[in-house]
Amino acid sequence: MPFPTDTDFFNKAEMEHTSMVQEMLMGDPSKVARHGYYALMSGDTKVIPSMKNKLQSGMANMLPDEKIGEYINKQKQPSDKKARVGKWQHKRTTLF
């Protein structure tokens, strides 16, 4: 599973206080978009840009789905660490 990208997604999903957001490195949206764009233009169907993501992807292929589910569930739990304020967290909006 790739690391999260620093976008407004976690704010809108009300997941700002999860361990995924508070404890993991957040990807730069412009770099993520650039990697995706170059992969699209070169005809690649998948791109795994960093060594950390390559290792996680390799492990995900070897682990049973049950273990991957446990890992993802743990990332969605509230973090014990002090809340970090990302550049997107001040823009909470609603659609309705």
∠ CA 71-61-64, nearest 5°, is 55
* DSSP 8-state assignment for residue 51: H
Q: Which of 6, 29, 27, 24 is nearest to 75 (CA)?
A: 24
Give me the residue spans of the domains in the chain.
Answer: 9-75
What tokens does 38 get? 């170059």
**If you search the block for the tokens 């233009």, which residue do you land on?**
41
CB 89 within 8 A of CB 16: yes
pLDDT digits (tens, 9 = 90+) for 2-52: 578 888 888 888 888 888 888 777 888 888 889 889 999 999 988 887 787
pLDDT digits (tens, 9 = 90+) for 57-76: 888 889 999 988 888 888 78
- Look up the pTM and report it: 0.59
* Cβ-proximal residues to 14 (8 Å cutoff; 6+ apart), any chain: none
